[in-house]
Structure 1
Amino acid sequence: MIGTKDMKFRFPIVVIDEDFRAENISGSSIRDLAEAIGNEGMEVVGFTSYVDLTSFAQQASRASCFIVSIDDDEFGSGSPEEVAVPIEALRSFILAVRKRNTDIPIFLYGETRTAQHIPNDVLRELHGFIHMFEDTPEFVARHIIREAKKYLSSLAPPFFNALMEYASDSSYSWHCPGHSGGVAFLKSPIGQMFHQFFGENMLRADVCNSVDELGQLLDHTGPVAASEQNAARIFNSDHLFFVTNGTSTSNKIVWHSTVAPGDIVVVDRNCHKSILHSIIMTGAIPVFLMPTRNHYGIIGPIPKSEFTMESIREKIEANPFARKAKNKKPRILTITQSTYDGILYNVEQIKEILGSNIDTLHFDEAWLPHATFHDFYKNMHAIGTDRPRSDDTLVFATQSTHKLLAGLSQASQILVQNGNNRKLDTHRFNESYLMHSSTSPQYSIIASCDVAAAMMEAPGGTALVEESLLEALDFRRAMRKVDAEFGDDDWWFQVWGPKDIAEEGIGEREDWVIREDDDWHDFGNIESGFNMLDPIKATIITPGLNLKGDFDEFGIPAAIVSKYLAEHGIIIEKTGLYSFFIMFTIGITKGRWNSMVTELQQFKDDYDQNLPLWRVLPEFVSKHKQYERIGLRDLCTQIHDMYKKYDVAKITTDMYLSKIEPAMTPADAWAKMAHREIERVSIDEIEGRITAMLVTPYPPGIPLMVPGERFNSTIISYLKFARDFNSALPGFETDVHGLVKDTVNGVEGYYIDVVKE
């Protein structure tokens, strides 16, 4: 055990020696060393197998040191021929460790063999060579412990280190929060339960910004500033700012530092709602770039032609508010990079096309913080090392470290790349940062931003991303293997993506580049090579719908599969009509994705047998008794037929691609809502009316309409489908934010809040 003052952590010294438990001289000597290490307060864990030495490399994240014997029988008598294979095993072990961790101490020890038996490329990776019997076990133990402690003391990044020091210092708390380091919870039974659940360290570390030694998030001083600078270096950016209330807030900070009322802004039509909130708050005039879309509901890329200044100027002139603006130069461009479904843009091509024609380029990379750490994503993310700079354009990237890295929920960060002639004014930028940041930030979230960045320090970050890619590819290969075994006469789930992928390993990046003539995406007329699919984003397609939007004779709606998986302990990220989405973050393991494959096989068995819902979905049935005696296949058929009746795949595609007329600026429409100059109108009577609210269908959770736009017949058709579907199939309701089930003037129905005429 080792600790920061009184805070203890378990990082044992790992010994790998076949004789660790043997009753011989070699075993006795290594146990004497282990005992001496234990007497100094450090834990020792011993392994006795060399069957797969590289598997022990996985212990590198849990250990403080490795001690590896080279005297075991497997290393032969010492002749070059006999030691060749074991030396290769040792080399593989060291390379596997160093691939993730360049600093953890590795010691070799022997009684009969010395450094002369070890090749130089192995020797240079070592922290020492122990020749037994030349020193006492106690002396050798202290030498090893010194190196282990030196290594452990270097692990914690600046803010997390300062927070641990503060929490372990046993200072009395006279500042907020009112629980005073957790003491308040100890005065109540339910408080005791809360304290025991979360633990004292978390509560002691929950402090306010009056603790000077921790620095200030709001003005970026002290350990906080040191950690932000450290993270900027790791993420290859000029500046980096931690944000404790999500990338929704990061986006608003960037916008409020750049955009003012009346500015023209160029925005991805399928952007996150926080961008639309930013448009409302800043009083900007939006001009939208329209992404492609297929009938699976997967949002494709914005065609490259949309990014030309000629196309953008045409959009400005077509917008009744933008064409009257005094300044026609767009203030900011914001695109979603990557999309929810994993579509990436070649950022360098976008920079080259737009040059300095737009004041600020903003890439919402909530789902892409991992990309800078692997060459697989070269040029497919906003900011990185050795990237060209625009002369006068700032580049921002906003990232959710809690989504694909190891941050706590709401952990986010803002990255900045300066232009050649224009640098970020950090003091002015911080005024926007203060506008949107809490004066009582959660210090555990700050620490997780700090640690999430430190975890991605090379080479560990590269290894973690590569592992995610490998697991994602192995999952895809496993799903294809199952499909092949079932054969053409049976059904199985498909994983959306390129047909040709490597038989093993990651394969070539070119395998994932999207081309116009590919037959797997159906994004239409797009330029080959401008986009790529991120393999770690996996969309699983259920039977029932083809890529052209045509319904099959039978179908398995994804909503049922998601409920089934949830009752078996597997929670899905996003569910569409006939697809659901999972991510291979750095926390996904073989055990998790293999469990997914086996549960999908179990679903297939239950579906094929048409087992009753009370058996396969007991929790769901307990809330919805009307489904108790319905078979799983029968329910799938019922929902599938409803989807087919309304041709819902084409409706949902058409509504997102339909022409929506802007009748007011979003800010003016919002003002109508704030002043209560709105009315709640039935969806049967809203055609041509102006929405006062965001209208956001789930799935996919992408806003369809922003305040100030007029309802058209295509959108109304979808809203009527949602009404009818919700009435027919309770428990599977289609959720549309902005669509309200209410009773108005004695009439129950579905309503939208629109601007009064």
Structure 2
Amino acid sequence: MNKNKTKSAPYYNIGQLRVDYWNKLKIETTELTRCLKGSEEEISHILNVKELLKDLKVVECFFAFPGKERLQKLENAFASNEYASLSHLVAATTRQLLGDSYKNNPDSINSNENKLELIDENEPQQNIRKNHFEVLFVDNITQEEEGKLKHNLRTLQTPNDNFSYGVVVQRSFQDAMITLLFNHNIQAVVVRYAPPYHSKLITPLILPYIEEVTNLDYSSQPETDLGPIIGELIKQLRPELDTYYVTDSSLGHLKDNTIKGFRRIFYQSEDIQELHLTIMHGIAERYSTPFFSALVEYSQKPTGVFHAMPISRGNSVFKSRWIHDFGDFYGRNMFLAETSATTGGLDSLLQPTGPLKKAQEMARDAYGSLNTYFVTNGTSTANKIVMQALVKPQDVVLVDRDCHKSHHYGLVLAGAYPVYLDSYPIEEYSMYGAVPLQQIKSKLLQLKETGSLDKVKMLLLTNCTFDGIVYNVERVMEEVLAIKPDMVFLWDEAWFAFAGFANNYRQRTGMFSAKKLYEKYKSTTYRKQYNEHINGLKEDEQSILPNPDLVRIRVYATQSTHKTLSSFRQGSMIHIWDEDFRRKTENTFLEAYMTHTSTSPNYQMLASLDVGRRQVQLEGFELVEKSIEMAMVLRAKVNDNQQLSKYFDVLTVHDFIPDEFRQTGINEYYTKQEGWNRMNEAWEKDEFVLDPTKITLYIGKTGVDGDTFKNKYLMDKFNIQINKTSRNTVLFMTNIGTTRGSITYLINALLKIADELDDEFKALNDKEREIRAAKIHSLTKEFPPLPDFSYFHHSFQSLPGVSGGNLREAYFLAYDEENYEYIPLNDCLSLIDTGRKLVASTFVIPYPPGFPVLVPGQVVSEEIINFMTALDVSEIHGYRADLGLRVFKEKVLDRHKITTSIGGMSIDNIKTD
């Protein structure tokens, strides 16, 4: 889609620019009222105000509020030298805009069209709380016709409506697309008449922020086709929006994709009231929360509770003398909604037929899947459900070794054979990146050579990783399907639930890529491309395109909704885009869902998933963009501040992703000299990209390790909570709940920590300085090498010539304490030197970094022991420092070796590493 090179910009996005310019105008107009008439100071402020009004007039063309009408009033007041009125209106407008108060009281906008005064926000207003949005009309009409349209639509809105809306009119294709990029308040688009293509509003000010528009080129298309094309592009850019088409063409002349591409098609002769009612109904449908509404209604009914749960209705709490404070803390509604009932307007999670079924269908549409299921005990359980549903004993699963532990345990439960994939190491920061595509393909081709490709069922990858590494999902799936056209993909998107609601991010999600590839492979264009590709291959050269006659799109994504969107803790979802789901997997999936899902799910959690879906459909685009903006602001603040940069660095793209995986060559998101780099091209083309909402702060120069920095400084002193550290980094994350205030608080805390480090350093004596220097040297120069996965001992090897292993057999062999022993870590290397193969009998998971360095049945390597010895962390799951490393006894391995066979072949005959 993108053709131009990435541009730098003085602001991260247009929202940041817009806020800054309004604040500047507020300051300038305030100062203007204080100047002596005719003074040089007044002349300077007049010039500044004139320039700001000129720039803001361009920006506000794409918004209903403040909009171009408000800017015209400001210009009139300025031209008339009414500086006091101008300053008052600018201040009020800025306050409304920054506080979003105009959305609560839209009457304060519309009822004063011909006045400079605004309704006082502090005065009590009737019907003040409304949900306000904006509608984009694409229509090449005159200014007079635009005014009439807005007036007619405004008169149709009544005080009793639950929603209100403003109108933005754009007269060209490009301006419509820019509005969709800039204006997050747009909830519906009405395309009327055939718009011209080129914009008359593009200026150098907004040019850096509209790459998605300037890189499009539909200028050669007939104007009659531009309206339907806008409808198609909206589904890519803002798929949550309602789209309507107004035309004079007869039904027989409308193309099928035009009819299917819009929510509804109107004719010019139809009453505008019908259009208005349709717009309002579309918003009401997305606003609907079937399960939450049913739960609210249930909570208000008088009932007699004669089933389980004494806490239901709060009966056991509020009449208690001893736990009444618990009820006071949570409030009565929490307990009124607590029930184990599955009737009376509610529903069963295990077999939904009512509001819960409808809620999951609405989530399906919002997230772009074919099927969506709510999960009430976290993505750990969601992962096990998918694993059990899709793989059976002795199926082979390709899996990144440093994925979440739930996947490893899921493999044990399913009895599948893992072939572990190694992510590229980032040794300087004691963490791993992601699995290169070339390694995945080489494993598959190795399996193909051994005749075992038919046993491979699934590829399981984490996207994005805890540290923010994001795969090129479409490319991975396409090139893997070229080798194995029926591969099932499980994308662990635990930290990526928000990604479906931002344009750049969406293209790297499982659901979006699945649909895109499905439609691509069904097209005649692709079949022609495939045939040309195959004819051009050299002998024995592997195709990178799947065979359209064999390929099947089978994609699953598990998401921790509660991690990045609005949901109570452990609220998760499973999204499915599997064209064979009904035929091959639905029964086993439902069995697995029954296996792992409680018959007594938490209804408040289910309601939060329902409400969270409503939120992302109506304001996800805005909130996700703001969370990215907050992350970018934090990066800039640390980089630009001399005191902070003395001790801290924000790691960026070139720190996490080697050059060979960054085809576009982008190194930084921000530099003080050049400003912001737009990410569009990199997110489209590079093998890996970095999610900017994951902010890794390098702290090696402080001389304090990550765990100590987290506890001693962030938690104890400032109550700042974070999830992850490494030897020399701490990880911060922004999300849709992050505010400017929280970013300011974090910067304030880091400044105080930097000052404290200064004071500590000044107070050190010579010996203490020597110790501090050694610690800094260790954290910045001495990096423990990160070990790759070694191999499974031949007793547990699953397939001849393949590194996969029988994880389940090794895991359960360790249930008998006679089969294992403990060896102190310090003795392990000497035993390895004598030739003994130490084989892990349990998972060993240091935290941080939080991935298994050993799994049951894996041979312990010298590199793994060195890594564990160098780790300065106190928490290693599966390892007890007082006992040592738990390994299988040699005699058990010898005996197990004799009794184990694969497909009738003795394990002795299998070549091992």
For residue 108 of structure 2, give the secondary structure of its aligned residue in structure 1: strand
Q: Give the Cα–Cα distance (whole angstroms) in 2 for the partners of residues 610 and 434 of structure 1.
A: 57
Structure 1 residue 451: deviation in Å?
1.2
Pick which of 416-425 and 194-203 moved more. 416-425
- Paired amino acid for 2:696: T
Structure 1 residue 455: deviation in Å?
0.7
Pick from 620, 623, 627 the counterpart of residue 468 of structure 1. 627
Instruction: Report what 2:811 is aligned to.
Output: 670
Are 2:855 and 1:706 equivalent residues in the alignment?
A: yes
Q: Give the Cα–Cα distance (whole angstroms) in 1 for the partners of residues 781 and 583 of structure 2.
A: 49
Contact preservation (8 Å) 1:369, 1:405 = yes
Q: Give the Cα–Cα distance (whole angstroms) in 1 for the partners of residues 678 and 638 of structure 2.
A: 20
Instruction: Report what 1:454 is aligned to.
Output: 614
Q: In 2 relative to 1, CA 439–658 (structure 1 residues): closer, same or farther, beyond 3 Å? A: closer
Are 2:401 and 1:269 equivalent residues in the alignment?
A: yes
Q: In 2 relative to 1, CA 335–380 (structure 1 residues): closer, same or farther, beyond 3 Å? A: same
Are 2:478 and 1:352 equivalent residues in the alignment?
A: yes
Q: In 2 relative to 1, CA 594–654 (structure 1 residues): closer, same or farther, beyond 3 Å? A: same
Instruction: Report what 2:436 is aligned to.
Output: 303
Contact preservation (8 Å) 2:401, 2:851 = no
Structure 1 residue 710: deviation in Å?
1.4
Deviations 1:171-227 (A, max 9, x none): 222222232322112343332111111111111212114335211111132111100
* Number of residue pairs matched by the alignment: 602
Contact preservation (8 Å) 1:537, 1:583 = yes
Instruction: Report what 2:508 is aligned to.
Output: 380
Instruction: Please list, as runs of the form range in 1=range in 2, the aligned pairs for 1:592-631 lying within 5 A after superposition.
Output: 592-610=742-760
Identity %: 25
Instruction: Please list, as runs of the form range in 1=range in 2, the aligned pairs for 1:721-736 lying within 5 A after superposition.
Output: 721-722=870-871, 733-736=873-876
Instruction: Report what 1:243 is aligned to.
Output: 375
For residue 206 of structure 1, give the secondary structure of its aligned residue in structure 2: coil
Deviations 1:651-690 (A, max 9, x none): 2x432x2534444221011111223332333223444322
Deviations 1:106-142 (A, max 9, x none): xxxxxxxxx989836755774657xxxxxxxxxxxxx
Q: In 2 relative to 1, CA 73–709 (structure 1 residues): closer, same or farther, beyond 3 Å? A: closer
Structure 1 residue 511: deviation in Å?
6.8
Are 2:460 and 1:334 equivalent residues in the alignment?
A: yes
- Paired amino acid for 2:854: M
What is the aligned-residue RMSD (CA, Å)?
Answer: 3.8
Pick from 659, 664, 675 the counterpart of residue 790 of structure 2. 659
TM-score calculated relative to the size of structure 2: 0.60
Contact preservation (8 Å) 1:556, 1:637 = no
Instruction: Report what 1:478 is aligned to.
Output: 637
Q: In 2 relative to 1, CA 124–502 (structure 1 residues): closer, same or farther, beyond 3 Å? A: farther
Q: Give the Cα–Cα distance (whole angstroms) in 2 for the partners of residues 407 and 633 of structure 1.
A: 53
Pick from 821, 843, 864 the counterpart of residue 694 of structure 1. 843
Q: In 2 relative to 1, CA 247–69 (structure 1 residues): closer, same or farther, beyond 3 Å? A: closer
Are 2:371 and 1:201 equivalent residues in the alignment?
A: no
Are 2:880 and 1:740 equivalent residues in the alignment?
A: yes
Contact preservation (8 Å) 1:557, 1:636 = no
Structure 1 residue 288: deviation in Å?
1.6
Instruction: Please list, as runs of the form range in 1=range in 2, the aligned pairs for 1:223-622 lying within 5 A after superposition.
Output: 223-294=355-426, 295-308=428-441, 310-314=442-446, 328-355=454-481, 356-384=484-512, 387-389=516-518, 391-419=551-579, 425-458=585-618, 460-483=619-642, 490-497=646-653, 498-501=667-670, 508-510=678-680, 513=683, 529-544=686-701, 555-563=703-711, 564-567=713-716, 568-610=718-760
Instruction: Report what 2:93 is aligned to.
Output: 53
Q: Give the Cα–Cα distance (whole angstroms) in 1 for the partners of residues 471 and 490 of structure 2.
A: 13
Instruction: Report what 2:823 is aligned to.
Output: 681
Q: Give the Cα–Cα distance (whole angstroms) in 2 for the partners of residues 658 and 486 of structure 1.
A: 38
- Paired amino acid for 1:257: A
Pick from 159, 164, 170 the counterpart of residue 144 of structure 1. 159
Q: Give the Cα–Cα distance (whole angstroms) in 2 for the partners of residues 593 and 672 of structure 1.
A: 50
Q: In 2 relative to 1, CA 533–698 (structure 1 residues): closer, same or farther, beyond 3 Å? A: same
Structure 1 residue 296: deviation in Å?
0.8
Q: In 2 relative to 1, CA 204–709 (structure 1 residues): closer, same or farther, beyond 3 Å? A: same
- Paired amino acid for 1:605: D
Q: Give the Cα–Cα distance (whole angstroms) in 1 for the partners of residues 607 and 727 of structure 2.
A: 39
Structure 1 residue 720: deviation in Å?
3.2
Q: In 2 relative to 1, CA 169–650 (structure 1 residues): closer, same or farther, beyond 3 Å? A: same
Structure 1 residue 69: deviation in Å?
5.0
Contact preservation (8 Å) 2:308, 2:340 = yes
Contact preservation (8 Å) 1:244, 1:410 = yes
Q: In 2 relative to 1, CA 220–635 (structure 1 residues): closer, same or farther, beyond 3 Å? A: farther
Contact preservation (8 Å) 1:683, 1:752 = no
Q: In 2 relative to 1, CA 577–587 (structure 1 residues): closer, same or farther, beyond 3 Å? A: same
Contact preservation (8 Å) 2:789, 2:853 = no
Q: Give the Cα–Cα distance (whole angstroms) in 2 for the partners of residues 414 and 61 of structure 1.
A: 36
Structure 1 residue 435: deviation in Å?
0.6
Structure 1 residue 335: deviation in Å?
0.3
Contact preservation (8 Å) 2:290, 2:358 = yes
Structure 1 residue 330: deviation in Å?
1.0
Q: Give the Cα–Cα distance (whole angstroms) in 2 for the partners of residues 633 and 582 of structure 1.
A: 34
Contact preservation (8 Å) 1:556, 1:640 = no
Deviations 1:69-99 (A, max 9, x none): 567699459xxxxxxxx9xxxxxxxxxx999
For residue 605 of structure 1, give the secondary structure of its aligned residue in structure 2: helix
Contact preservation (8 Å) 1:248, 1:274 = yes
Contact preservation (8 Å) 2:504, 2:683 = no
Contact preservation (8 Å) 1:473, 1:505 = no
Deviations 1:457-496 (A, max 9, x none): 14x111111111111111111112214x778xx4443343
